[in-house]
Amino acid sequence: MAGRGGSTGTLAGPAPVRPESGGGAVAVSGSPRRPDPAIAWPVRYLVVWPLRLVAFAVVLPLRLLYEAVRLAGRGLRTLLWDWFGCPVLTALWRFVIVPIGRTITWGWRRLLVPALRALWTALRTVLWDWLIVDSARMLWRYVMIPAAKVLIVLFDLLVVRPARWLRRPLHWFGRTVLLPVLRAVAAVIRAAAHVVAVVVRAVARAATATVRGFGFLLRLLLVRPAVWFWRTVATPTGRAFVRTLRVVVRPLGWCWRAVLVPAGQAVGFAWRLLVVAPLSWCRRTVVRPIGRAVGATMFVLVVMPTRWADRTVWRPIRDALLPRGGFGHRG
C-alpha cells in the first residue's frame, strides 16, 4: 500500500503541508483560486446587493413577461396568419376574386360595351339623323323659306312701296304741319314749365320767409323771454330757495338727530321702564292670580251650588207642577 501510494503521488490523500514561520499550516492545492477584485464592504452591501435585489425583483419579471408576450405573439402570428389567414386569403384571391374579376372584365369588354355602342348608334341614327335633322331640313325647306318669301313680298307691297309713294306727301306734311305743331307744343311746354318754376320759386320764397318770420317771432316772444326768465329769475330764485332750505333743513335735521331722537328714545325707555314693565309685572303677579282665585271662588260658591239647586230642587218642582208633554216641557 505504501509503494502504491508512493507510485501514485496525485491520488487521493492528504495534501502536502508546509510549515510557516508563524507555526501554522497552509494547505497547498494544485490550482490556487484568484481573489476577487478589491471592493470596499460599504459599496458591496449598500450599492451592489440592493441593485441585484432590484434587478431580481423588478427587471427579471418584466423581462420574463416581455419574452412570454413576445413568444405568444409569434405563436399567434404563426397560427392565425401563416397557417390560417395567409392561405385562406391567398386561396380566396386566386380562386374566387380573380375569376370573378376576369368574368366581369370579359362581360364588360365582350358583351356590355358592344351592346351600349350598338344602342347609342341606333338611338343617334333614329332620333338625331332621322327625326331631328330630317324634320329640321323639311321644315326649313318647305315651311320657313316659303313663309319668308311671302313675308318679304307682303312687306314690299304693304310697307316699302306705299312708303315710296307717300314719301313726298309725308315729307311735306311733316315739314309744313307736324314740325310747326311740335315746335308750338314745345314752346307751350317750356312756357308752362317756366311759369310753374316761377310760381314754385315764389311759393318757396314765401314759405321760407313765413317760416323765418315765425321762427323770429317765436324766438322773440317765447324763447328769449323764457331764457331771460330762467337766467334772471328762476335760477337765482331756485338757488336762493335751495340755500334757504339748506339753512332751515340742516338745523331741523340736527335738532331731529341730536335732540328729538334721543329724547324720544329716552321717553320710550322711561315709559317701558316706569309704566309698561310695572303693569306687566302687576298683571303677571297680581291681577292674573287674583282673577284666577276669584273665578275659582265664584265657581265653587256660586256655580256649583246653583247647578246643585237646579238639579235637586228646581227640576223636581218643575216636573211636578208642569204636566208631562205640556207647555215648557223638554222632550
The 10s digit of each residue's pLDDT in 57-74 is: 777 888 888 898 899 888
Q: What pLDDT sits at residue 204?
A: 92
pLDDT above 90 (res 199): yes
Q: What pLDDT sits at residue 325?
A: 52
Mean pLDDT (whole number) for 250-257: 84
> Cα–Cα distance between 121 and 330 in angstroms, integer?
127
Calculate the alpha carbon distances from 252 to 244, 264, 309 in Å. Answer: 12, 15, 73
> Cα–Cα distance between 248 and 271 in angstroms, integer?
32
From first CA to last CA, the distance across the chain in angstroms is 156
Dihedral angle, C-alpha 122, 126, 127, 132, nearest 10 °: 140
The 10s digit of each residue's pLDDT in 183-197 is: 899 999 999 999 999
Calculate the alpha carbon distances from 6 to 9, 29, 74 in Å. Answer: 6, 18, 64
> Cα–Cα distance between 287 and 280 in angstroms, integer?
10
The 10s digit of each residue's pLDDT in 276-290 is: 888 888 888 888 888
pTM here is 0.26
- Domain extent listing, the chain: 41-159, 166-251
> Cα–Cα distance between 150 and 172 in angstroms, integer?
32
Q: What pLDDT sits at residue 124?
A: 84
Amino acid (1-letter code) at residue 114: P
Q: Is 35 helix (H, G, I), strand (E, B) or coil?
A: coil
Average pLDDT taken over every residue of the chain:
79
CB 60 within 8 A of CB 46: no
Residue 17 makes CB contacts below 8 A (sequence gap 6+) with: 25, 26, 27, 28
198 falls in which pLDDT band (50, 70, 90)?
very high
How many Cβ atoms are within 10 Å of 318's Cβ, its own excluded? 13
Q: Between residues 174 and 266, which one has the greater pLDDT?
A: 266
Mean pLDDT (whole number) for 235-254: 85
Which residue blocks in the chain are alpha helix, DSSP H?
Answer: 2-7, 41-43, 49-54, 60-76, 86-92, 98-107, 113-123, 134-139, 145-155, 161-165, 167-173, 179-218, 224-229, 235-255, 261-271, 277-282, 288-298, 304-309, 315-321
Residue 330: name the closest of 316, 314, 317, 319 by CA.
319
